[in-house]
Structure 1
Amino acid sequence: MSQERTKILIHLPFPLKPINTGAKRRIVGILKYFQNRKDFFSVDVVASNEFRSTLWDSKQKQEILNFAEKLFVYECERNWVDFLYSRSQSFYYQKILREQLPVDSKYCTPPGYIEFVKTLVSQQKYNFILINYLEYAHLAIESKSSVVKKLIDMHDLCCDARLARKNISHLKGLKFDYKSNLSREINLLNKFDTVLANSQHEIAVLISHLSSQKIYLIPHLVEDSNHFLSLAPYVSREFKYDLLFVGACYQPNIDGLNFFLTSIFPKIIDEKPDIKLAIVGTVTQSVQIDAFLEPNIDCLGYVPDLSNLYLNSRLVICPLLEGSGTKVKLQEAMAYAIPAVTTTTGASGLNLIDGVNAFITDEPTVYANQIIRLLKEPELAQNFSKEVGITFKSHYSNSTIYSKLDRLFGIFPSST
């Protein structure tokens, strides 16, 4: 191809393997997009090994080179100034002021790391730099280049994510002023040319603060390349599990699953004693299951490939009561056209409508009754499957999201 490829530098906050969180799935989806468009893009990656922690070992580096042409790793181990800078910030805010770090803190991007990225941008002459997470915004905005376009993938509103983590042990008891930090967050986002949001909820919050031309809705990419070719119709599937819960070891997942197991699941067992629930993901490490529930539950832990579990489960549940951003577990379930019963928090940001392509409620008894109804009425479950499959194709399929990204980067390939 004679056209010169667009050069893009992508910042990664962590290694990709194992792919056990929604954030990692989102990043892999974006990397696969660029890989699919390799005739148009030259992709490099920048990352950091934290002080006394080799996250990016030779195996993780090789994994990234499956997606990128070059990987640049900043070694914080060699810079005591960075270590002292970050630790002093943490000590000042958390130990002295007893509050969470401000969202515009440079804790994750100390001076040495910022200079490392600034040098890369100036030497390699990139057209775009894409940052993941607001905590790393300074890696891009400190660059004075007027040529490089600066993009940030929020993943979540940082302020909402901070509130969702308030019960994590090292954050318990720390103050967090949402209003002042949201102002800080908006200020940082305004310094980017483009802000990638993954849900309508984030856009609704930002639209009164940022130019609408700056914000792009880019949902998670969760579809495999041959996904729809191998997707069996719901009516012809063989089910091993009645219910499926997927989640990483994340406090809202833990709290939501505990809520389900204590307030909802016993009601379902009373009505359907042989019901079977599969719990998948690292959340299994942090959830205590009462002995009387154990015969009805399989805790499977981390499963690298979830496709068979999705296809062998009648319903997916997402009983989260708090949290931020799009729930990737639900979007993945939508990709497999599985009926879902969720909460308002779980459904937030997704094109789910109660009674049309999902059941949505926060009331335990109603939640239990909706599950029982879908299990007892296969035609209703089949209809939900059909509707949620249509929703996925319209809003979350690779072809739909690739088209959005093509417009964002100004390319128009002959085929998707």
Structure 2
Amino acid sequence: MRILYFYPENPLHKAKGNNARALSLLEYFKSRNITVDFVGVETDLFATNEINKLKEEKLISNGYFLPVFIRKKNKLKYFFQYSLPNKIKGKIGLFDNIRSGHIPAFNEALKENEYDVILISYLYWSKLIKNNPYLKKAKLIIDTHDFLTSQFQKKKKFQLGKFFETEIKLLNSYDKILVISPEEKYLFSQFINKEIALITHSLPQKSNLKTESKYDIIYVASENEHNTKAAKWFFDHVYPLLSKSLKIAVIGKITKFIDDYPNVEKISFIENLDDTYAQSKIAICPMLSGTGIKIKVIEALSLGLPVVCNERGVDGLINKSNNGCLVSNDPNEFASQINTLLTDAVFYTKISSEANTYFNAHHSLDATYSVLDNVFELQRF
């Protein structure tokens, strides 16, 4: 089997949850000896050297790039080619990331090769395959990553019906649809008569990596509006209720939005996140908004770490209880759950055991790979 996989970013930058998902798919393809050609969007941080690294790790066979489009340097072109036509036709530009030069660059891969499957990440890149004469007999699969209508609801001139109708119409242009959460599968299945597969995030089971704890709490987050709001909530309302003797590690670009605290170590980038998880007692995921599964929660559960989170933190999980997560939107209860886990060894062991049991049942490689085998119609013996 030969697959053309479009994913705009660098999958090897694992600090972001969406990159971790893309990498996990590449690792699945490698495990099944599937030939993968990869298409990304070229930037200063994602260029030939990174494609070569993907090749060295035998995750891809060939790599292609779409040219980066810098809006500030192409204001007139953006207005006449995208903004004005969208206004005239009444289209929603937020669902369209295609810019000048993207489609010809994508077609180079299609012209040179014949694919069994073309896998596109994110609906707003759907124009890459729309009415494309070079698709040949390839099956089209979309990895949605998220429910976009919900993501756009605070945008200017948002109209629920119009946005949702656009999302459903785009989804219907594919042969199969991959979703990351049971909530999204249920929602889309009410309006789409296509195969919709729940491909939750998977990782190797890593509880054996646990070492002596360096940190009491680990908090991993990237830079987006949901995470910045969540970080402010935690440090404004929960942190003051915690003992300042606790050692807290905050990892990722979220560190740019967090003040300096004597017991908080801020690490903007780390090569191997597993090492820090292994040195931590518990993880937190203070999420007040956003949709889809939280990859950081799955990463913590893979090591058997209890997770304290808000209600949004368990979005996308198959089970909402007895899964290694303690959930509260109340700052006092959130802080109390952290304190109980760190002071009550029996309770900690119970929640950690639930984390391991839940992870093995739903997010282990075996559990997810069997679903992917069905999606890509592979027979396993």
For 1:127, the equivalent position in structure 2 comes to: 116
Q: Is 2:293 the counterpart of 1:301? A: no
For 2:178, the equivalent position in structure 1 comes to: 196
For 1:379, the equivalent position in structure 2 comes to: 346
| Contact 1:114–1:142, Cα closer than 8 Å, also in 2 | no
Per the TM alignment, residue 19 of structure 1 is displaced from its structure 2 partner at its CA by 2.6
SS of the counterpart of 2:95? Answer: coil
Per the TM alignment, residue 202 of structure 1 is displaced from its structure 2 partner at its CA by 1.1
Per the TM alignment, residue 132 of structure 1 is displaced from its structure 2 partner at its CA by 0.7
Could you tell me the TM-score, scaled by structure 2's length?
A: 0.89
Match 1:312 to one of 279, 290, 307 = 279
Q: Is 2:338 the counterpart of 1:367? A: no
Residue 242 to residue 139, structure 1, CA distance change in 2 (3 Å): same
Per the TM alignment, residue 280 of structure 1 is displaced from its structure 2 partner at its CA by 0.9
For 1:11, the equivalent position in structure 2 comes to: 6
Match 2:63 to one of 71, 84, 109 = 71
Q: Which amino acid letter does the alignment assign opposite residue 38 of structure 2?
A: V
Could you tell me the TM-score, scaled by structure 1's length?
A: 0.82
Q: Is 2:112 the counterpart of 1:139? A: no
For 1:3, the equivalent position in structure 2 comes to: none
Residue 381 to residue 116, structure 1, CA distance change in 2 (3 Å): same
- Matches for 1:148-163 after TM superposition, within 5 Å: 148-163=138-153
| Contact 1:93–1:101, Cα closer than 8 Å, also in 2 | no
Q: Which amino acid letter does the alignment assign opposite residue 193 of structure 1?
A: D
SS of the counterpart of 2:192? Answer: coil
Kindly, what percent of the aligned residue pairs are identical? 25
| Distance in 1, Cα, partners of 2:85 & 2:310 | 34
Match 1:284 to one of 255, 276, 288 = 255
For 1:186, the equivalent position in structure 2 comes to: 168
Per the TM alignment, residue 316 of structure 1 is displaced from its structure 2 partner at its CA by 0.7
Q: When the two structures are aligned, how many residues end up with a matched partner?
A: 373
For 2:103, the equivalent position in structure 1 comes to: 114
Q: Which amino acid letter does the alignment assign opposite residue 131 of structure 1?
A: I
Cα-to-partner distance string for 1:173-219 (whole Å, 9 max, x where unaligned): x33223311110010001100111011121122121112x5110111
Give structure 2 stretches of 5+ with no counterpart. none
SS of the counterpart of 2:249? Answer: strand
Residue 268 to residue 403, structure 1, CA distance change in 2 (3 Å): same
Per the TM alignment, residue 93 of structure 1 is displaced from its structure 2 partner at its CA by 9.2
| Distance in 2, Cα, partners of 1:89 & 1:383 | 58
Report which stretch shifted further, 298-307 or 315-324: 298-307
| Distance in 2, Cα, partners of 1:387 & 1:377 | 16
- Matches for 1:327-406 after TM superposition, within 5 Å: 327-354=294-321, 357-406=324-373
Alpha-carbon RMSD across the aligned residues, in angstroms, is 2.7
| Contact 1:103–1:184, Cα closer than 8 Å, also in 2 | no
For 1:241, the equivalent position in structure 2 comes to: 215
